[in-house]
Amino acid sequence: MINSQLLKAFLQKKSFGHIGTRNYGLATTSFITKLRTLPYRRRIVLVTHAFQPVYNAESRILILGTMPSPQSIKHGFYYSHPQNRFWPLLSALFHEPLPQTPEEKTALVLKHHLALWDVLAKCEINGAADSSIRKPVPNDFTLILRDTRIDRIYTTGKAAYTLFQKHVAPVIGRDANYLPSTSPANQALFPWEKLLAEWQTLLA
């Protein structure tokens, strides 16, 4: 249990020298270390991919994220964060109504010969922060490449691209093409018009 005087002294930012005269110096350092690191470690959790890939025999373009976000896991489908721009982007590119349900989203993907999946099968991650990914395990792309007509592979975001090139490309002998992330966290760097312009490559 943390000594109440120690906690009070820390919160009031009293000098370590003063605390040290009462033999609390080492304990204070240890307490601060725990305070800084323990909460972060608790947020790192093992996540296993729970969705099936979306594709059929006519799929030609494979779009890969990194791992489903907590919001996507909650709603049971890809790119389900309400501020993620993935579905508005596809809707604009293909001049289609904005899909609302997983069934409508699946129909849009298949209608335009796309396939949808993620690079990783499981990893340790802090929420949706790709930069926190540890111990990544890639998906097995054998079946999806065998059963489709995929001739182009795109990754959404730098983390997905880096992980694909490191863990998947050497296995399948094919490289991915980078596309900017549709995450709301990427909005300052890629506002809507710039993002839309970058994703026009899907129509080539």
Number of H helices, E strands in the chain: 10, 7
pTM: 0.76
- Average pLDDT for 6-22: 40
- Average pLDDT for 161-176: 96
Helix (H) or strand (E) holding 194, with range, is helix 192-199
Look at residue 178 in the predicted model and tell me its pLDDT. 97
Using an 8 Å Cβ cutoff, are 179 and 156 in contact? yes
For residue 1, pLDDT over 70 is answered with no
Distance in angstroms (rounded) separating the CA atoms of residues 33 and 36: 5
Q: Tell me the domains of the chain and their CATH numbers.
A: 4-44 (no CATH), 49-203 (3.40.470.10)
- Average pLDDT for 31-57: 67
